Structure 1
Amino acid sequence: MKIKKSMFLIPVVALTFACAQNNEIIKKSISNINEDIITLQKSIAELQLNVQELDRKINVNNENIKVNSDAIEKLKNELNNYSYELENLKKKLKNANSQTQQTQPSTISSIPKTQDTSEIIIIEDDTTDKTSLYSYAYELYMKGKYFESLNKFNEFLKKFPNDDLSDNALYWIGEIYYSQKDYLKCIDTLKELIKKYPQGNKVPDAILKLGYSYLEIGDQDNAINKLKSLINNYPGTRAANLAKQKLSELGVPYD
């Protein structure tokens, strides 16, 4: 009888020992899995931080690109304006000299031959007044003296409302308001420009800036309408190309 009990106990002990070993293995496996989970969680956390940092850098780069694009746009605009004004000044100075020579022949003939006539500048008061006033107002704008520039451009418009440069003067007044974030005054000014000088060379730029201003005040419908009208009415212009670029940024089709 004792022999049978012993024989029975042997497998029970063996089984118990095997179970204990299995439990230890399972505990080690669970411990290893927990360690793996912790390691994986750390890796995920690091990846999330990296993604956040990458997003931040992308946002910074996008902002820099926008700033650079705006700066390039402004430089191009200023370059075009300088070229236009230079040609205007040349033409008006030539006309002034021609008119003065026709009306004052005796003065010119009385100059002694020994005198260097290249140093003599013949001035027509009206032409010089308006060109110098406009140039001074624009120079103030370029130097960032917006208050003084605004006063001079308004003075120019008051004195010469129908001059070839009147639409330009009104446009730069709008730009001054835009740079000061006074978008409502900018909108009113550019609307006045388009109404008063519909054939002026600054109309496409004025419509573009109108679109930008509407976007700044959150009126996207009016902004999109202005940008689309610019593309349709002035195709191929620099302003129209910039309007297409802005609509693309907004995810709006323009065809």
Structure 2
Amino acid sequence: MKRILIVLPILIVFVSCAPKNQALNKSISAMNQEIVDLQKSIANLKMENDELDRKITVNKTKINTNSQAISDINNDVTYLTNEISMIKERLETSKPAVQSGDNKSMSKDNQTRNAKTETAEQNDNQIVIIEDKFSDKGSLYSYAYELFKSGKYYESRQKFNEFLSLYPKDSLSDNAKYWVAETYYSQNNYNKAIENIIQMIRDYPDGNKVPAGYLKMGLAYNELGNRNEAVKILKELIQKFPASGAAARAKEFLAKWE
């Protein structure tokens, strides 16, 4: 009888605690499920973040690769803008003047030619240089650049050097010096190309053509058979201007040379 009296309270306590234990177990189970769901969410966020990083890297590579093309397009736009201005100016100055007796003739100023030609020997070929007079620096630069695009490297070099002598501190001066180097490179005069690029980097260290200059200098050294110096220059370019289009091209050349 005594045993029954002792066991009976224990049973009553156990029975009364059973619902509480069930509730606690349910709460723990719910928390575990929330943890699992949270872990899944974290995993999904990590995957999305990795994909975003991949897309950013791809876009950055595309931007770097196209930066040089964008720079060339800007030069073309500058040329076309100035060319349009030149055409308008020439159309205005070519209008005939009306004189007495109902006789029409060109004015004396319009009869004066703005261009003269002279010859120069270059690589045993006769080269005709057109020396036009330009009223602004933009027209002079654009004309020099057009000569380069037309393959008239000697004439282009003269005009770019003329620009540099007139506007040594202009925002386009580093570009002009770069294109002087390009004219030499295009004529296979790699030593002179390197010399002018070194001068450009020295005189215009913050110029936008400096990365392209390093690339061209590396290629010039390679053409001269000095692969070690070429590799050194291209690695220096990548180190100093890692986000430039020139650096992206340098990596391509280094990969081919390995």
TM-score normalised to structure 2 length: 0.51
Q: Following the alignment from structure 2 to structure 1, what is the Cα–Cα distance between the partners of residues 174 and 67?
A: 18
- Runs of 4+ aligned structure 1 residues displaced above 3 Å come to 75-79, 84-90
Shift of 1:128: 5.2
Q: Following the alignment from structure 1 to structure 2, what is the Cα–Cα distance between the partners of residues 217 and 143?
A: 26
Q: Following the alignment from structure 2 to structure 1, what is the Cα–Cα distance between the partners of residues 79 and 192?
A: 28
- Superposed, 1:1-255 pairs within 5 Å as 77=68, 80-84=71-75, 86=77, 129-251=136-258
Q: Following the alignment from structure 2 to structure 1, what is the Cα–Cα distance between the partners of residues 137 and 187?
A: 26
Shift of 1:221: 1.6
RMSD between aligned alpha carbons?
2.7
For the structure 1 residues 158 and 204, does the alpha-carbon distance in structure 2 shift closer, same or farther, using more than 3 Å as the test? same
Q: Following the alignment from structure 2 to structure 1, what is the Cα–Cα distance between the partners of residues 152 and 69?
A: 16
Show CA shifts across 1:80-125 (max 9, x none). Answer: 22315636997xxxxxxxxxxxxxxxxxxxxxxxxxxxxxxxxxxx
For the structure 1 residues 247 and 209, does the alpha-carbon distance in structure 2 shift closer, same or farther, using more than 3 Å as the test? same
For the structure 1 residues 77 and 234, does the alpha-carbon distance in structure 2 shift closer, same or farther, using more than 3 Å as the test? closer
SS at match of 1:236: coil
Look up the equivalent residue of 1:80 and give its one-letter code: S
Q: Would the aligned equivalents of 2:218 and 2:229 in 1 still touch at CA under 8 Å?
A: yes
Q: Following the alignment from structure 2 to structure 1, what is the Cα–Cα distance between the partners of residues 75 and 240?
A: 22
Look up the equivalent residue of 2:150 and give its one-letter code: K
TM-score normalised to structure 1 length: 0.52
Shift of 1:236: 2.1
Deviates more, 1:186-195 or 1:79-88: 79-88
Q: Following the alignment from structure 2 to structure 1, what is the Cα–Cα distance between the partners of residues 70 and 147?
A: 16
Q: Show structure 1 runs of 5+ residues with no match.
A: 1-74, 91-126
Q: Following the alignment from structure 1 to structure 2, what is the Cα–Cα distance between the partners of residues 147 and 168?
A: 17
SS at match of 2:225: coil
SS at match of 1:201: coil
Shift of 1:76: 8.0
Q: Would the aligned equivalents of 1:89 and 1:131 in 2 still touch at CA under 8 Å?
A: no
Q: Following the alignment from structure 1 to structure 2, what is the Cα–Cα distance between the partners of residues 180 and 89?
A: 26
Show CA shifts across 1:43-64 (max 9, x none). Answer: xxxxxxxxxxxxxxxxxxxxxx
Q: Following the alignment from structure 1 to structure 2, what is the Cα–Cα distance between the partners of residues 201 and 76?
A: 11
- Flag the structure with higher strand content: 2
Count of residue pairs brought into register by the alignment: 143
- Flag the structure with higher helix content: 1
SS at match of 2:170: coil
